[in-house]
Structure 1
Amino acid sequence: MNRIAARRAARARPVTAFVSSPEPRTIGSFARGRQLSAGNFMFAGHLVERPDLQLWDITPPDAAFEAEMQGFAWLDDLAAASDAPARACAQRWTQGWIDRYGAGRGPGWTPDLTGRRLIRWINHALLLLAGQDKTASDAFYRSLAQQTVFLGKRWQASAPGLPLIEALTGLIYAGLALEGMQAHVPVAARALGRECDARIGAGGLLPTRNPEELLDVFTLLTWAAAALEDAGQTPPPSLTAATARIAPTLRTLRHADGGLARFHGGGRGLEGRLDTALAASKVKARQKDGLAMGFARLSAGRTSVIVDAAPPPSGAASARAHASTLAFELTSGRRPLIVNCGSGANFGAEWRRAGRATPSHSTLVVAGESSARLGSGAQAEWLTKGPRHVPVQMSQASDGVRFEGGHDGYVARFGLTHARTIEMTFDGRGVAGEDMLLAMSDADKRRFDGVLDARVMQGVPYQIHFHLHPEVDAALDMGGAAISLALRSGEIWVFRTDARSKMTLEPSVYLEKTRLKPRASKQIVLSGRALEYAGRIRWSLAKAQDTPISIRDLAQDGD
């Protein structure tokens, strides 16, 4: 149906022009813009180096690479570079798309990709039309109108959530900017309001619990609202209410360095996008209890800790979710310290599955097994048999703030409940934690006894992982009784534990979608065996005593 609608739209010959042009709000990367104009095409974790070819002559290595090509988000990067080679590439590749795919052919004629492409073409119209002759300008306007006609027919075919919001935002942009397309605006605005009511929960919650996806949705909603206001129209109340719900949630999910917590397939977010979107929303509220979208936040000084404090997503929403219940990340100032490995989706199926497993997160693992399991058959990517009861509490400690939580993800297999307590001092210089494995009910104790018998009373092995950011320099200290962690800012943190577990420093990886390969890093691992109905492991992270209260961290990444 997309193909039929695309070809019908391509036969239309509306003569149109800009009525108004929304102020460009997209943020690109200067470095990526320079790389693109030099012929280095990096999309979806793949690098194709072909300076001798134009973009559309490249054979995409996979569907994700092709989708990024067709979505035109790379225009943001070329606009950020904005030198002569970048402008020439932007114009040449846009005209190349019109010549090759403008007649309704190719993989880019889907509602969400068309919406994404329309936003970029309209945002960067001045860049794309500068110095162009009348023939090229007419072709550009005609293609814009044809894509708008297509989107007006097919937006309802978008998948719910982010794809539909992207399609509707693109339709609002085009309807407001293009002559003769204004009739699409009320329909798209009402549909966007309905989607906000249906998909964004009372606490700014997305079913996927992916912080970066929430940022993408929030960004699109702020763009749509700003475009309507610039045109003298009032955004639907549902849209305004949705942004008011999401903004406090994103503030809770933001680390001290401004990046998002990396959970459930999400990354840190493009630098500057979160702050820009929050400023554009004009919503200044915060979550008062430190809990948002199933995450808990502790912060003091320039230190932030964010904990996954809810069951993982279920059903179709769990297709990219991770088994990360009670995992946490810690950031000090501009420097991440404790992290999760992240999403390996850009590095192939094996890395994707490894990144979703519990051992790839900074939490406790029983017998090397994940707290949630992958399904089978048609639901092979869905999470099943995961934690369902995850009680949490935020409170004041004697010298700071405290998080307490637990989950039942290991009860069915081992009879053990994992409970975790994390306390942070008021000055943010110290974090103390306690992990417990508990057989709580009589049924749990019988199950645990059965597991012990099957293991010939050798105990149930466990490991507590603390994955370190690649830029953290870790070394055993004090004769192996502690591990010193040096940040590039000059801060020194010291990790200690009690004598109930063995402490080792082991290899790890850090998975970033903006890089071609996983980055090598390290992890602290506490290991032992559960032999009783109740066992606890205490650990602490504290700044070294000679670390100043405040450090001017002005070093640029990459220095």
Structure 2
Amino acid sequence: MQSLAVQARWLTKRLEIHLLGNHLFANAKALVFAGLFFQGEEAEAWLHKGLAIIARELPEQILADGGHFERSTMYHALAFEDMLDLCNIAQVYAPTRHAQIKGWREVARKMRGWLTAMCHPDGEIGLFNDAALGIAPSVAELLGYADRLALAGPQVQAAQFRHLASSGYVRLEAPDMLALLDVAPIGPDYLPGHAHADTLTFECSFHGQRVFVNSGTSCYGISAERLRQRGTAAHNTVVVDGENSSEVWGGFRVARRARPLSLKISHENGDRIACSHDGYRRLPGQPVHRRTWFVNGQLRIEDAVSGRFGHAQARFHLHPDVKVQLVAGGSTVSLALPDGHEIRCEVERGVASLEPSTYHPRFGVSQATHCLVVELVDGLSVVRIDWN
């Protein structure tokens, strides 16, 4: 077996080669732990290297709103656990020894606030980009760990609306309704490996139950199923001419990618969030998708596609526990929740149909469900959702 010194030197070299993504925190954390556990010149060098990496990368990888720069809720949770571990060991072994340590607790507080903002009423994360339950510790476990370190989250007003502006998400609440809106870039330009083609998607819970869900992530590697789960059609957004809004390929690659445009937020007579993206401009007719969410006792979702295109579909994937029925000549969709509540979706513009779909809340899990598909008419669809 290699000595600890040999292993640490190997790890240091690896870190000089590969300093991207969530691996940074785990690897740099190992150097900090080794440097604090042991004494002597070599241990001090490990500590210096780990602290230097964290000091350099933390401002880039953790955004101003506390979100991880890859925009994956799962990888954010993993990075948050590493940040809590760093705060924990610094508190015990080096509370005042290194200037770099002083800002860690504030970063952890912001990360906690972002994580809680991106959760459903069931207490777990929304599934944005590569995300699945059961990989990172549960949100309850992470919050309990933070509480034991006396790391309360930032003071946030108990408002119906919260804009995580740096990462590009919106939390929108009304009585018995929660929506998580994606108006974000897919991730850093140089590290899109965990990105999905999901621009302008959303997830929504009613009466504490997840109803509209992204498909999640059940597998990695290079396969048709991996590609499908990353594709636009597996998310609650608009597919134009059967294309993905961002060109996902391989297992962890993205070519041309969608960028959000012209975000407008207003609170007159309700909450209105409107945003466009340019992901389809690479197509011959240069179409642009614009989506508007409006909440005022009901949730109204309007999708508009400008430019030349053949056909476009707005897709709304349902949680497997939701029973769906298309009624009233195809313009009304009834959603029955397990607790007996009923949600009504009125398709005010567009042509509605139901398709089989699958949901992947955990790795290795595929659950049968349904997707409400609304074909845009003259470039427009409008769906009104009533949960009262």
CA drift of 1:236 comes to: 1.0
Quote the residue 1:405 is aligned against: 275
Q: What code does the residue aligned with 1:220 have?
A: D
Quote the residue 2:125 is aligned against: 260
Structure (1/2) with the larger helix percentage: 1
1:489–1:275 Cα change, 3 Å: farther
Quote the residue 2:91 is aligned against: 229
Contact 1:252 1:290 in 2 (8 A): no
Structure (1/2) with the larger strand percentage: 2
Q: What code does the residue aligned with 1:384 have?
A: A
1:274–1:305 Cα change, 3 Å: farther
Quote the residue 2:55 is aligned against: 193
Match of 1:304 among 156, 178, 182: 178
CA drift of 1:471 comes to: 1.2
Quote the residue 2:11 is aligned against: 154
Quote the residue 1:57 is aligned against: none
**Structure 2 matches for 1:163-202, cutoff 5 A?**
163-177=23-37, 183=44, 184-185=46-47, 187-202=49-64
Match of 1:520 among 368, 371, 375: 368
Distance 2:262 2:63 in 1: 20
Contact 1:344 1:353 in 2 (8 A): no
CA drift of 1:156 comes to: 4.6
Contact 1:197 1:238 in 2 (8 A): no
Quote the residue 1:211 is aligned against: 73
Quote the residue 1:508 is aligned against: 357
1:344–1:256 Cα change, 3 Å: same
CA deviation map 1:180-220 (0-9, x unaligned):
89644455344333331343233334332212111211111
1:313–1:152 Cα change, 3 Å: same
Match of 1:367 among 241, 253, 268: 241
Quote the residue 2:153 is aligned against: 283
**Structure 2 matches for 1:29-428, cutoff 5 A?**
146=4, 150-151=7-8, 153-158=10-15, 159-160=18-19, 161-177=21-37, 183=44, 184-185=46-47, 187-231=49-93, 233-234=95-96, 236-268=101-133, 270-271=137-138, 272-276=140-144, 279=147, 280=149, 281-286=151-156, 289-292=162-165, 293-313=167-187, 315-346=189-220, 349-374=223-248, 381-398=252-269, 400-413=270-283, 414-425=285-296
Q: What code does the residue aligned with 2:280 have?
A: Y
Distance 2:294 2:282 in 1: 29
Contact 1:314 1:383 in 2 (8 A): no
CA drift of 1:163 comes to: 1.3
CA drift of 1:474 comes to: 1.2
1:236–1:487 Cα change, 3 Å: same
Contact 1:330 1:336 in 2 (8 A): yes
Distance 2:32 2:207 in 1: 39
Query: Is 1:536 the equivalent of 2:380?
Result: yes
Contact 1:422 1:432 in 2 (8 A): yes
CA drift of 1:325 comes to: 0.6
Quote the residue 1:112 is aligned against: none
1:517–1:178 Cα change, 3 Å: same
Contact 2:347 2:384 in 1 (8 A): yes
SS at match of 2:63: coil
SS at match of 2:229: helix
1:290–1:389 Cα change, 3 Å: closer
1:229–1:270 Cα change, 3 Å: closer
CA drift of 1:346 comes to: 4.3
1:510–1:389 Cα change, 3 Å: closer
- Report sequence identity in percent: 24
Q: What code does the residue aligned with 1:222 have?
A: L
Distance 1:302 1:152 in 2: 54
SS at match of 1:538: strand
Contact 2:231 2:248 in 1 (8 A): no
1:403–1:389 Cα change, 3 Å: closer
1:330–1:182 Cα change, 3 Å: same
Contact 2:183 2:260 in 1 (8 A): no
Normalization by structure 1: what TM-score?
0.60
SS at match of 2:227: helix
CA deviation map 1:117-150 (0-9, x unaligned):
xxxxxxxxxxxxxxxxxxxxxxxxxxxxx3x761
1:309–1:278 Cα change, 3 Å: farther
Q: What code does the residue aligned with 1:542 have?
A: D
SS at match of 1:540: strand
Q: Structure 1 unaligned segments of length 5 or more: list them.
A: 1-6, 13-145, 440-447, 452-459, 546-559
Asked which structure has the greater RCO (Cα within 8 Å, sep 6+), the reply is: 2
Q: What code does the residue aligned with 1:468 have?
A: L
Contact 2:312 2:376 in 1 (8 A): yes
1:186–1:282 Cα change, 3 Å: farther
Quote the residue 2:315 is aligned against: 465
Rg larger for: 1
CA deviation map 1:287-315 (0-9, x unaligned):
98523411122112342111110232354
Quote the residue 1:431 is aligned against: 299
SS at match of 1:412: coil
Query: Is 1:476 the equivalent of 2:326?
Result: yes
Distance 1:284 1:374 in 2: 35
Distance 2:171 2:28 in 1: 33
CA drift of 1:345 comes to: 2.5
Contact 1:212 1:266 in 2 (8 A): yes
Normalization by structure 2: what TM-score?
0.85
1:278–1:225 Cα change, 3 Å: closer
Q: What code does the residue aligned with 2:178 have?
A: S
Task: Tell me how many residue pairs correspond in the alignment.
Answer: 370
Q: What code does the residue aligned with 1:539 have?
A: V
